[in-house]
Structures are given as structure tokens and as C-alpha cells.
Chains A and B, each alone.
Chain A
Amino acid sequence: MAWRLYALELPQAQDLLPEGPEPEGFWPLEEPWAARRAEALPWPEPLYFLDGKERAEGLLAEGRRLALLGCVAAGAVVYEGGRMRLLPPRVRRVGVGLSEPLRVGELRYEPFPAEGEGVYALQEGLRRARANLEAEVAQELSGGLLVVDGPVRLKRVGPILGYIKTHWARYLPPEKEALLAALAPGERTPLFRIRRKGLELASWYLRLPLPPEGVRPPEAGLLRLETPLDGPYGWLAALSLSLFPALASHPVKDPRAPQNLTPVGGLERELGRRMGSREVVARLLARYLGGG
């Protein structure tokens, strides 16, 4: 029996899952609990921005077995010598749930294990494939500061800074949360400690400029940052105030402004381009695997 195309589109909504369990407790690292500003600091060089992208391209069926074909890409841009430069991105096609490589026209999908059954397990597999690829790219970035999109999951020799754009988890007790609404652009909260899956992290909130001011809900423009507690977190907290507001995107150009940083936006666009045209891939799949 051969693999047959089952569907090209997958149910959406997987993006809306919260990121892990609720944090327990609140351990402030700085006193008093008030908004903080900092002097402008020079950006460290090289400064890396890492991001990845995944795309489900088709759901296959062989009898009762399911497999998810997808494309994952990861890459980095580096700021060096006053220029933002793209490092060669990596693109891989994977078939989550396949046991051997599958060739579809000019495309080749490498097998990737799925943990569990069902479409959601397959999608989770695709996310893992992307995380692996990101880790691979990150390994090659030596020195400087690495900024990753999302929570810090990687272990790295040099400093690493994660930034979280959407806030599912509540880290602050209600009486402290009032400060978030009071933060002005370019200000941050004091540091506090969080624990996640064995990682000890320092975290803080930061307000990005979002022109025009005052027409959006108070969470807009709020970014949460985190970095390992064993790193130079004090310096990073100060640096973040000169770094992130400068890289915030403009709402006219990016619907995810301002949290979607401009270099990362450029990187994502580039990754999307390297993954190839969605339509062309869909046609190839339909041509070679469809009609069963």
C-alpha cells in the first residue's frame, strides 16, 4: 500500500496553545517595584537573531496510518559592522510519521519520528523538527549575543536572550501587574526570577514604542524577556532598553507590530521564500500522491 494524499490544509488553532504550565510564585530580583530606565548602551557585536518557521504541506494516509509532510526552516541574521546581514538559512523537508524517505517529484521528505498518534502529535513532531533545526543553527553561532524568538530553551555558552510576544502565562501577582499598564515606552519592570523545566531564568517586561500612542490596549507593545540566571542578566536588562525599542516594527507595515522585530520580520520573509511556493508544492503533492 502506498501513501496517498489525505489533505493539504490542516486544522488551524494549534498556534493558540499556551506555553506551558502556570508559574509558581513570584521572586523579585530587584527592589523597589517601580519602572526603570537605562542609559543607551552600545550593541554588542556580533548580535544574532535566530528564528525558525514551519509549514505543514500535506497530510498523507496509508491505510489507517497518518503522516504529516512539512517544511521547516531556520536561520539567523547577524548585526555586524553596522549592517544587518542574513546568514545562510537552512531548509528541510520532513515527513513526520514516515519510516523512510519519500520522494515527491523534486522534493524529498526525510522521516521524522512522531510521538503519539493523531494529527496533533504529528503537528507537535513538526514543531520539534523546527526546534531541532533552530538548535542546529544556534550551535554554529559563536560569540556575541543571541536573541531568540520565544522562550529560552537552548543551552548556549555565550549570553542568550529570549523574547516573548504574547503573554499566556501570568508571572506577576495582581498587585504588581499594575506597573505593566503604567510603563512608558522605553521603560522596563524590575527583574524577577522564574523556573521552567529545570532552567533558572531572570525575566522582565519592557514597553516598546507604538505610534500613535494611546489608541491600543495597555498590553500592546509589551514584551517579556528572559535570560538564564547564571548569565550577565543585569547588563542584558539594561541593554534590552537600547536594543528592542530601536528594532520595534511599525504598525503600518507589520500587523504584529511592534513586538515583531524588524530584523526578525525580514528573516521570516526570507525563510518563507526559501521554503518555496506553497502552491507549487501543493500541486506537486497532488500530482504525485493524489487521486487514490
Chain B
Amino acid sequence: MERVGVVLGSREATPLAFWVGVEGEGLLRLDDLVVVEGFHPKVGRVRYFGMVDHVAKVHEGETYDTDTFLAVEGHIPVSLAYVAHVSVTRILPEEFFPPDPGSPVYLAKGEDLELALYYEGMRNQKGTTKLPAGLLKNGEVAYLNLEFLNGVKGGHVNISGISGVAAKTSYATFLLKSLLESGVLEDAHQAKVLLFNVKGEDLFFLDKPNARLTEEAKAEYEALGLPPTPFRSVAFLAPPKKDGYVPDVDTRLEGVRAYHYDLVQFCQRGLLPFLFADRGFMTNLGFLVQHLTEKLRRLAEGQKGPHLLVDDWPREELPEAKAFDALGKVPLRSFADLVRYLEYKLLGPETGEGEGDRSWTARQARGTLEAFVRRLRASVENVAHLIRGDRPGNPPDPLKGEQVHVVDLAKLSPQAQMFVVGSLLKDVFERKERGQYRGRVFIVLDELNKYAPRDEEGPIKDVLLDIAERGRSLGVILIGAEQTASEVERRVVGNAAIRVVGRLDAAEAERPEYRYLPTTFRQRALILPQGWVILHQPEIPVPLLVRFPFPAWATKREEVLEDNSAEALRRELF
């Protein structure tokens, strides 16, 4: 054991925190883990494990600040005091009496480190649950208890931090890599991942090796027990371009599938509410939306699609007069048609002040009906290419096929983003609820403050709350990220067992949402360098500052390591 100093007697030593005087060549830095031995004749030997959360140096023997000049010039003798404050993480056995001043302090390594960070308790009857979560500053591996991530004891991860310093998305993908390939999650082969790509196209190269991966980074992956390889089984889904069916992406040209819904799916799955993110503002409108969702569901019952057939739309209003079928039904071939149909059902024929169909209007005042139609009409521009009636729908299905599904939202309008996120989450959650898929589902969603804002109500927030509160027992785990946790619904953040903080804005760091971080960590969150995050998990009373390796997968087009071998070319050609 490496002795670094002694417990100070000039400052109070308590069972939960004490000061250490660093001696001689000793080195104690923030986040270093130490162990101290105490003894009392009635209790016996007690060991205190702790983490350094404050270090300071001061000249002893200086009375005035200007004495430093004299000391530097060599005119007065001073001694250098090097002290560190230690927060105790654990006492073994649990006898809460203070350590004696003067007790030697050792660096915690190996077995002591495991004890200090409760690693030895991270196991269940089937084996270890130590999930590699990054590297500590001293190079040792930091672990998360998997049972707090996979839903056994807790679930969900919340990542916050300002954007642009490579923390949120990078750490989320690193965590996925660890979950899927470290071998700690025993049913990893069954696990599915739904990743929403909210900006740029940086998640579109998860399956390509990163050309900038250095040898050191590879060694770090090795230390973590992870292969330095890209993700193996990834599906890329992007919305179609507004005219046509080609996926709307710029950087990645192959292997991306376009996704969209057809009208029948739209109706059958009850997706209408997800077009109205601000439903809560008008309770009448909310009621009407619910009612219409149900009407549309009944209307689409038994239909095959892609177009929706209706039998009560007068012939003369039809844009394409030829489109009658044998049963006298009219097909709706686009979202715009559906909107016009609903307008007709709610407000009556365009000519004159007619009345709508009573069974559709649900006795709502005309003002409400008009407001609804106005909103619906406004959404045509946003979602018409996602909800179409001219070819069979192909919505993303993260529970089938590849292990990781990247769903692109970047180019969609906010309303369309809401629609896609809401309908996908609802779909996945409902199928898990019905027990249609056995494996775990990890959902990565950035910009949680948009989907589950603190102050507003909305259908997506309902789904997210449902996932946050009931998801872990169903095996649906949310890995949510946002710039500011203070703007996200408290219950969504509060249900996350694991919290990760990247670089924070100074004002944000003072919000009560970050009170679980000790002051020094909140201060440090302001200056976190790239590739570092603060990790908090329920079992360890102090957060850990961890570094995670450079992504082994490309995060943009330029980073893709081109495979120009003959084999690869042959595969591409044939």
C-alpha cells in the first residue's frame, strides 16, 4: 500500500469526512480514492474508504499575503502545507466513529478500490453485474451496477450537458456498446436499441470503423473489455424526401431505408394525437382528438391499405372522380385527402353553412371544430410525406431485424419529429406491455426537454412518463439526454437510476436538479474536458469522474475508415 499522508488533527475529523495532510513526495488529486485505518478497543479495526473532493496547498508560517514574495526570494522560511478533503464512501464494518488524527492514509488500489466503490457487491446469483462505464483518472475501470440499468433494481439513464463538447450522444453510444458487447448483460443478443438521430447525421455511421481511432484508444477499449469495433447490426431509417420515396439523407448514400406510415396504419394505431403536441391547452380539443382517433380506428378496421376507404363522401367533392370501387367506397390516397375528409365530416360541405356529421363532431361547439380543422390543415405540409396513402406503409420496427435501429429525425419539422417519436414510443411500449417481445429495449432520445417539458402537457410526455415510471419492469429502458435537466419533467429525470453529467452551463449547475452532486463536482462540471463525464449511481454515495474512449465508430462522413480491400470491393460489386 502506498502511504500518502496522515489524517489532520488541526481540522475536524468525522466519520463522513476528514482532512488529510499529504506528506513528502505524496500526491493526492481530486477523485483519488484513499483508505484509512482506525482502531478503537471496543470496536476493533475499522477501515474508512473515501474519495478526495478538495485539495489545497498553502504556505504555513506566512502571516500576510505579501509574505509569499519574501518566501520566494528566500528571506523567510515557510513550510508547504498540502491538504486534501476526503468524503467517506464507505466504512467497514459500519461503526461510525471518527478516525484518529495522525492515522496513516493510503491510496486505495486493487481490492481496496473495489471496496471503496462497492464493486464487490455488484453481483447477483448468476455472476457479476459490473458494467464497464469508463475509466477513472488513475486508469482503473469504472463500473456501473447493471442491475440499476437493466431494470432489475432500477433503470433508465439521464444524461445532461451542453452540446458541442462530445458528451451526451457519445457517452450514450459508448454505454450501448458496453451493454451490447461487454458480456455483462446476459441476454444482450435479444436486446434491441432504438436510437433517435436528432441533429446532423452523426449517428449514421455507427457501423463503420473510425479512421481516427488511435492505438491508445484501442488499448483503452481493451482495458474496458470491449472490442474497438463499430456496431455490428444496425438499421438506418430516414424519412422520405417530400417528393418521392428516396430517403432524405445527405452524407450516407447506401443502406438507408425510408420510413413512412400509410393512412390505414395511421388510423388503426391511433396516431392522430401525436400531431397535437399541445393538446393540454384546450381540454375540449383534447376530447375531440380522442374521439376522432377512436372514430378513425373504427373506420380503418379490417382495411388493408395503403389507402383508406370511406363510403360516405359525396361524389362531386372527389378530386379523382374515377376512384370508386365496387362497394361504392372512395379511397383516400394522401394525408391531404384525409384532412379534407375530416373537414367534411366535422364542418359539412364546403358550400354554405352546413353542419357536420353528428357522430363525428361529438357535440363540440363549431369554434372547437374549426380550431381543430385549422390545426390539422396546418400539419399537412409537415407530415404529408410521412403519412401517405399511395403505397404500403413501412414504419420503423425496432423490435425486428437489426439490433440497433437509428431513426433519423433531423430533417423533419418539429411537429413531424413529435409525431415520429410519439408514435414509435407508443408502439414499442404497447407491444412490450402485451408481451410481444421478450428482450430488453433501450431507447436513446436526445432533447428530452422538447418531448417531456416540465411545464406543458402532451401525448408524447404521457408516453415518456409511462416509460419512465413503468418501463423498467417491462424491460423498456430510456436513455434520455438533454442540455438542461431543469427543463425536463421532474418525474422523467427522477426515475433515472443512473445520472450522467457532462459539461454544464454555470447557471444550470446551480439548479436543484443537480443537488445530488457535491459542490466540488458542480464546479467541476463547468470545466469538464471533452470525453469526461460525471457519473452518479445509486449504490455509490459519491459521483465518479470518468473518461470514456474515443468512439470506435465513425461519427461523421470524414471519419469513416474506407475498406478498399479486394474482398470489400468484390462484395460491393456482386
A residues whose Cβ falls under 8 Å from a Cβ of B: 77, 79, 82-86, 246-247, 252-253, 262-263, 265-267, 269-270
Contact = CB atoms under 8 A, between A and B. Distances in A.
Interface in B289-332: none
A127 B78 CA distance: 27
Given A84-B75, A266-B76, 5 more contacts: A84-B71, A86-B77, A247-B75, A263-B75, A270-B61
Contacts of A267: 77
B64 A86 contact: no
A84 B76 contact: yes
Contact of B79 (A79, A86, A252, A265): A86
A151 to B, nearest CB: 24
Contacts of A83: 74
Given A253-B63, A253-B64, A269-B61, A82 B76 contact: no
Q: Which 4 A-B pairs have the closest CB atoms?
A: A266-B76, A86-B77, A266-B77, A262-B76
A82 B73 CA distance: 7
Contacts of B71: 84
Nearest to A79: B74
Contacts of A77: 77
Contacts, number: 35
A138 to B, nearest CB: 18
Nearest to A75: B77
B433 interface: no
A85 B75 CA distance: 9
B70 interface: yes
Given A253-B63, A253-B64, A270 B77 contact: yes
B513 interface: no
Among A84, A86, A266, A270, the one with the most B-chain Cβ atoms within 10 Å of its Cβ is A266
A87 to B, nearest CB: 9
A266 B61 contact: yes
For chain B, the bracket of interface size reads: 10 to 19
B72 to A, nearest CB: 9
A246 B64 contact: no
A265 B67 CA distance: 12
B74 A82 contact: yes
22 contacts: A79-B74, A82-B74, A84-B71, A84-B74, A84-B75, A86-B77, A86-B79, A246-B75, A247-B75, A253-B63, A253-B64, A253-B66, A253-B67, A262-B75, A262-B76, A263-B75, A263-B76, A265-B76, A266-B61, A266-B76, A266-B78, A270-B77
Interface of B: 61, 63-64, 66-67, 70-71, 74-79
Contacts of A247: 75
B100 to A, nearest CB: 16
A262 B70 contact: yes
B397 to A, nearest CB: 73
A253 B71 CA distance: 14
A217 B70 CA distance: 27
A246 B78 CA distance: 18
Contacts of B67: 253
A83 B76 CA distance: 9
A263 B66 CA distance: 15
B169 to A, nearest CB: 52
Contacts of A270: 61, 77
Contacts of A79: 74
Contacts of A265: 76
Nearest to B78: A266
A77 B71 CA distance: 13
A83 B79 CA distance: 12
B186 to A, nearest CB: 61
A266 B78 CA distance: 7
Contacts of A86: 77, 79
A157 B157 CA distance: 76
A84 B64 contact: no
Contacts of A266: 61, 76-78
A42 to B, nearest CB: 13
Contacts of B66: 253
Nearest to B67: A253
A148 B375 CA distance: 95
A138 B70 CA distance: 25
A270 B78 CA distance: 9
A252 B65 CA distance: 12
Among A79, A82, A265, the one with the most B-chain Cβ atoms within 10 Å of its Cβ is A265
Nearest to B75: A262
A79 B74 CA distance: 7
B64 A85 contact: no
Nearest to B76: A266
A262 B71 CA distance: 10
Contacts of A246: 75
B88 to A, nearest CB: 29
B145 to A, nearest CB: 48
A254 to B, nearest CB: 9
Contacts of B70: 262
Nearest to A83: B74
B34 to A, nearest CB: 27
Nearest to A267: B77
A266 to B, nearest CB: 4
A269 B78 CA distance: 10
A83 B61 CA distance: 15
B70 to A, nearest CB: 6
A208 to B, nearest CB: 14
Contacts of A253: 63-64, 66-67
Contacts of B77: 77, 84-86, 263, 266-267, 270
A85 B66 CA distance: 18
A82 B74 CA distance: 6
A28 to B, nearest CB: 33
A74 to B, nearest CB: 15
A15 to B, nearest CB: 23
Nearest to B71: A84
B395 to A, nearest CB: 75
Contacts of B75: 84, 246-247, 262-263
A164 B77 CA distance: 21
Nearest to B61: A266
A263 B77 CA distance: 6
A262 B77 CA distance: 9
Nearest to A253: B64
Contacts of B78: 266
Contacts of B63: 253, 269
Contacts of B74: 79, 82-84
A49 to B, nearest CB: 9
